[in-house]
Structure 1
């Protein structure tokens, strides 16, 4: 059986935002470079392409999926070519622009491209692109440096007591720094079986390393292992009215995020012998079986996921679930999910420290909705709301979690500012009731603007028995630069914190502490991404009491540079 606090330590790495791969789509623009005189025909082509592509605002962008869709569209003899570009959107997401080149009256001029066809190195990473078959290489490199002053509030002996991630000397009082990086390399492709049925797959590996005084260790480490290793198929059709129905099935090692990362995002663990703790090099689950059915903008999916956990803290988790998302009106997304744990050794503790059950048998029910201004690049209010409950098949459990966010975008003003307030709630256990109420965070996380709540405080508190208040701003001083400041306040709903950090098992105060951080992102072009972060975390009375009033303020700084083909 795996202790609950050890299981939560699995996700203590900062969810690094690796550029465009983790940004939601804000706008999708489709234009024709050589339109015909008949506007009705042009509209039919662009509308049909939008439905075939099946990328909508709020979706998370996938370059591979976009390239695969383009390869399929090129089989249409009326379309000679499709290209796309993407740039940072005004609200922190991604603006994607597709350009269609029409063929000359039914004769496609696209004769293929890619290094294996033309022997032209300038066409890399595309290896082969012809007749609907598309094969590309992947190369992604990241170098990161991270520094702390008074990590773990300067008290690592108490904050990390018994933590199996500790190897050698952990960071603590005073200044510490380390460097880490990774290289991700592989090959991905798709090919048609017929006009309506395609098979695809991907295979890649990651080599990672760390050197210096990291949060848990001062040992130099390196590690290489498979990342993606999956295969799947996609099929679909478009009716006479232009409605698009598609079905996508895949299985194997691959990344999976459920909706906005509230329940599932960190499907792989980093750090320990794998290194690259803060870079979050690995995302692919040990096994993901995913079936997605989409009708225009409505999506239904069923999944089974086993996260790739560290052997030293393996909770043996297997989650199955269903999810549905719809867009009833322009600008609004609604969704509902059900997740159940088919297995899992993550332990739940009663008020006397006794194990009352494990994750195996957990049920989760989730409802959510978001609204953004329409059109997306217009000023106006935006909001999000989500609520979820957890119960268990084997014992009396009723845990709750949710959030509400309200903000306003002034994107027509200088620097396109926006500001928002978010209140997040994850229940703790009430020791005076027979019902178990502590929220199980599952695989929640993502990046620092999703559910990594506080750059440093997240490593201590996680997303359980916490009320997190966030004020967040966004500023665009340059088209390729975004600045995101955040102010946080963290409190505990319950003074019984068994299942969290052992040093904070029993609290004398509800006040965990405060954090101010700022992130700067620079996207000079689609290949390069630079990300910097500063965070200052102040321990509250609950932490000070637990650490004999010896807790120091924690300062952290991080910078990474990423290159990808």
Structure 2
């Protein structure tokens, strides 16, 4: 089986090279997705992803001293395959079932060297195995207003500030950048939508993490539509059991507001505040962000935004994920491989435009600061930190949507340490990263 998986991994990489004569390509962050077809019947799914990533002067030139190994380039590949079915029972609602597998393959150390004991990975796992009931036209508050489901599946909240990825990527699971492990190992979900104005989600979640901490959490989420372009959400999350005793009994309370632009040359807002009580560690923690987004519109559909985000020392980042570029992996290098959302502050400026209909360009700038020196993820600095300024990063991302099924992504990333970053990492050089990836959905 290992030989077959290895040959499949190499085949995926060769396929990527054939499809893109200039190189390989990347996968855009994807929203939550249901496998089953709401119109009924059966549906098959087959998705192929592959990526090649090269980094120069990793960890500002000091990765071997910090990690014990050196990373310069690596490959990632993923294959998602399966099917779904939906049976409509008219006034009794409908039942659906989703079943899918996931193959992941990666070769060589990634930039964070979190796979130091798993340099070559070939894995075959379940991706989704869930069954659910939907109310259909049973109630007069909307079609499928009530959904009840159990099993291994995706569940997300908002922009992914707290809850997005149910599975661990990297380490023994591989594929840190493609990040295909997004489903929760076990879920129990009750979703109720009352027209277009109210949405209630009651959830039980157990993550597919590595190492397996046997964590269990539950909660409730309420979403309110304020007007035609704005929503307000309230979330409560309780980690009621975990082998990681620092997480057990952690309770999180979150409030978020999001608006959409009403027209060209208009402002939108994305924001969230979360309060966390952690009785087994440092007590109460806070995390929040605010992001005004100006939509200029026009032929290039230009958008310009600024975001400030803050995460206390001792904040549990929970299960955040990538709903969009920079959200919530902050930086295609530092956020993807080096840093986590804890004891950290960040400034982000982002420009997005479409020079032609099939291309999307992102230019993203980050300035990172340490929230509290020599604490949290910065407790084991190479030398004692005396400066909060950590690093700057610039991400240049180009997406080419060749067809509805085929998309290519290319990245050029530049990351430079500030004084605090030099003290923390022990390196003082400019890190550069290049990436090309391909994603094809049959």
1:389 to 246, 251, 275: 275
Q: Where does the alignment leave 5 or more consecutive residues of structure 2 unmatched?
A: 1-24
Q: Does 1:532 align with 2:410?
A: yes
Residue of structure 1 equivalent to 2:30: 22
Does the 8 Å contact 2:146/2:191 carry over to 1?
yes
2:129 to 229, 236, 240: 229
Deviation by residue 1:270-302 (Cα, 9 ceiling, x = unmatched): 233333222112211111211101111221001
State the distance in 1 between where 2:133 and 2:383 align.
48
Does the 8 Å contact 1:188/1:201 carry over to 2?
yes
Residue of structure 2 equivalent to 1:317: 215
Structure 1 residues 506 and 190, CA gap change in structure 2 (3 angstroms)? farther
Q: Which one has more relative contact order, counting CA pairs under 8 Å at least 6 apart? A: 2
Map 1:91-110 → 2, pairs under 5 A: none
Q: Does 1:518 align with 2:396?
A: yes
Residue of structure 1 equivalent to 2:157: 258
1:146 to 53, 75, 80: 53
Q: Where does the alignment leave 5 or more consecutive residues of structure 1 unmatched?
A: 1-15, 24-59, 72-132, 162-168, 348-357, 429-437
Does the 8 Å contact 2:414/2:430 carry over to 1?
yes
1:301 to 193, 201, 210: 201
Does the 8 Å contact 2:60/2:431 carry over to 1?
yes
Q: CA deviation at 1:268?
A: 0.7
Residue of structure 1 equivalent to 2:104: 208
Structure 1 residues 395 and 153, CA gap change in structure 2 (3 angstroms)? closer
Q: CA deviation at 1:500?
A: 4.9
Structure 1 residues 289 and 501, CA gap change in structure 2 (3 angstroms)? farther
Q: CA deviation at 1:384?
A: 1.6
SS in 2 for 1:502: coil
SS in 2 for 1:474: strand
SS in 1 for 2:60: helix
State the distance in 2 between where 1:505 and 1:328 align.
50
Map 1:143-292 → 2, pairs under 5 A: 143-160=50-67, 169-171=69-71, 176-215=72-111, 216=113, 217=116, 219-237=119-137, 246-292=145-191
State the distance in 1 between where 2:389 and 2:65 align.
19
Does the 8 Å contact 2:93/2:137 carry over to 1?
no
Residue of structure 2 equivalent to 1:435: none
State the distance in 2 between where 1:224 and 1:497 align.
38
State the distance in 1 between where 2:43 and 2:397 align.
32
Structure 1 residues 291 and 17, CA gap change in structure 2 (3 angstroms)? farther
Q: CA deviation at 1:439?
A: 1.2
Map 1:480-499 → 2, pairs under 5 A: 480-499=358-377
Deviation by residue 1:48-94 (Cα, 9 ceiling, x = unmatched): xxxxxxxxxxxx5x3646x31xx1xxxxxxxxxxxxxxxxxxxxxxx
Structure 1 residues 147 and 315, CA gap change in structure 2 (3 angstroms)? same
Deviation by residue 1:469-498 (Cα, 9 ceiling, x = unmatched): 000011101112110110100011211423
Superposed CA RMSD in Å reads 2.4
Deviation by residue 1:288-346 (Cα, 9 ceiling, x = unmatched): 211101111221001111111123xx333222111011211011011110111112344
Residue of structure 1 equivalent to 2:293: 407
Q: Does 1:422 align with 2:307?
A: yes
Q: Does 1:555 align with 2:432?
A: yes
Structure 1 residues 159 and 325, CA gap change in structure 2 (3 angstroms)? farther
SS in 2 for 1:282: coil
Residue of structure 1 equivalent to 2:328: 451
Deviation by residue 1:501-543 (Cα, 9 ceiling, x = unmatched): 7337953211111101111112222211111221111112112
Q: Which has more radius of gyration?
A: 1
SS in 1 for 2:372: coil
SS in 2 for 1:195: helix
Structure 1 residues 271 and 329, CA gap change in structure 2 (3 angstroms)? same
State the distance in 2 between where 1:245 and 1:199 align.
11
Does the 8 Å contact 2:207/2:215 carry over to 1?
yes
Q: Structure 1 length as normaliser, TM-score?
A: 0.68
Residue of structure 1 equivalent to 2:7: none
Residue of structure 2 equivalent to 1:92: none
- Give the count of matched residue pairs: 411
- Residues 473-482 or 517-526, more deviating: 517-526
State the distance in 2 between where 1:304 and 1:361 align.
15
State the distance in 1 between where 2:406 and 2:34 align.
15
Structure 1 residues 501 and 541, CA gap change in structure 2 (3 angstroms)? same
Structure 1 residues 330 and 505, CA gap change in structure 2 (3 angstroms)? farther
SS in 2 for 1:189: strand
SS in 2 for 1:545: helix
Does the 8 Å contact 1:159/1:503 carry over to 2?
no
